[in-house]
Amino acid sequence: MSLCATTLCAALAALAAERMTEPGAGWAEDAEGSPISSLSANTLQLDADGDGLVDSQELLVGTSPLDFDSDADGFGDGEEFARHSDPRDPLSLPEGEEVSATLLARGQGGKLRLVVALHEPQGLSDVSMLRIGALAQGEIVSVPLARFLGIADVRGVGGSANSSVTTIDLPIDPNFVHASGGMVTFFLAAGQTDTMTFNTAAKVDIRSEAGELVMLRPIQSTLDRRVSGGNGGGLREPIPVSTPPPLESGWVSGAICYQRSEVVGINGPRILHQIVEADCLEGWDSYCSGECAASVGATYETVDPLALIGG
């Protein structure tokens, strides 16, 4: 039913065919991905420093909205975010020459907003493709970008060495997470249409807790590792969709829930984790739930994006 040249494509097309509940709603339809060149600038928000990230996205990434290159290492903030290096650490530099992409989530205007950034080494071209999906209630579904273009904020800027950086700010109904058994993993894969290969993948886990959305944010940056003592793990960060946030009582300001989990089950690209350590850490511009420590022992399922692309 579709031409699949990659492990990811075949795996997802099979899953979509198996689990599709609505005609045309699965990965199979979107198997070729969306060409980045089909996305057009559609943003109303300001990017004062021209690094590809609007102010609210810079807040999420932790960079200065008035500094194109916050850590002065020669690579712009948007490019570093897309290429998985730390834009706040001059010793952390982008690596690799392939298409790269990442995503995080934030809340604004009553919506959960996925913030996607893509770096194309050859500049904006027809050969890059991007696919976004979600694991919800045990099913992997496609998030067809083409259907979201009318409401997404898309921005493109130049990167280093004639490369290009595209950011996509995609509004999602928060009830999608609240109604999906309390947890949704959003993930993406990007690659090249000419070879039908995916070479980059990323994911973000969003949980519904007491009416709020919480992002389980992996510790990737060197600054994060300094705070966590180098133990790996992740951070549980509230992402209220309304302003001001109606946080439940018991949330501690200036702290964040640090959690470390272990893999207790693997089923293809689906990974079952169990939280083995959890506590509120101080020193963060966020909030920590009073229920943080009690989350030890809880399990949750996510997607391993590297397993999806066969990496």
Binding site for Ca ion (CB under 5 A): 47, 49, 51, 53, 69, 71, 73, 75, 80, 87
Minimum distance, C-beta of residue 45 to Ca ion, in the bound complex (Å): 9
DSSP 219-263: --SHHHHHHHTT---EEEEE--SSSS--PPTTPEEEEEEEEEEEE
CB of 150: closest distance to Ca ion in angstroms? 23
For residue 106, how many C-alpha atoms fall within 13 Å in the half-sphere facing its CB?
17
Tokens matching residue 280: 């509120």
Closest to Ca ion by CB, 87 vs 305, is 87
Whole-angstrom distance, CA of residue 135 vs CA of residue 141: 6
- Cα distances (angstroms) measured from residue 282 to each of 42, 149, 174, 287: 38, 39, 28, 9
Smallest gap from Cβ 219 to Ca ion, in A, equals: 19
Task: Count the helices and strands in the chain (H runs, E runs).
Answer: 7, 14
Nearer to Ca ion, 47 or 120 (CB): 47
Pairing of strands 139-142, 128-136: antiparallel
Q: How far is the CB of 157 from Ca ion (least distance, A)?
A: 9
Provide, rounded to whole angstroms, the least separation between the CB of residue 156 and Ca ion: 13
Nearest to Ca ion of 87, 156 (CB atom): 87
Nearer to Ca ion, 35 or 90 (CB): 90
Q: Closest by alpha carbon to 81, among 96, 100, 106, 67?
A: 100
Give whichever of 165 and 256 is closer to Ca ion, judged by the CB atom.
165
**Min separation Cβ 144 and Ca ion, Å:** 28
Calpha distance 94→160 (Å, rounded): 10
Query: At closest approach, how far in Å is the CB of 169 from Ca ion?
Result: 12
Shortest Å distance, C-beta 54 to Ca ion? 6
> Between residues 83 and 236, which has the closer beta carbon with respect to Ca ion?
83
Residue placing its CB nearer to Ca ion in the complex, 87 or 144: 87
How far apart, in whole angstroms, are the C-alpha atoms of residue 152 and residue 173?
A: 13
For residues 97 and 194, which CB has a smaller minimum distance to Ca ion in the complex? 97
| Pairing of the two strands 183-192 and 153-158 | unpaired
CB atoms within 10 A of CB 74: 11
- Six token digits for residue 41: 């600038």
Copy the structure tokens of residue 167.
Answer: 């950011």
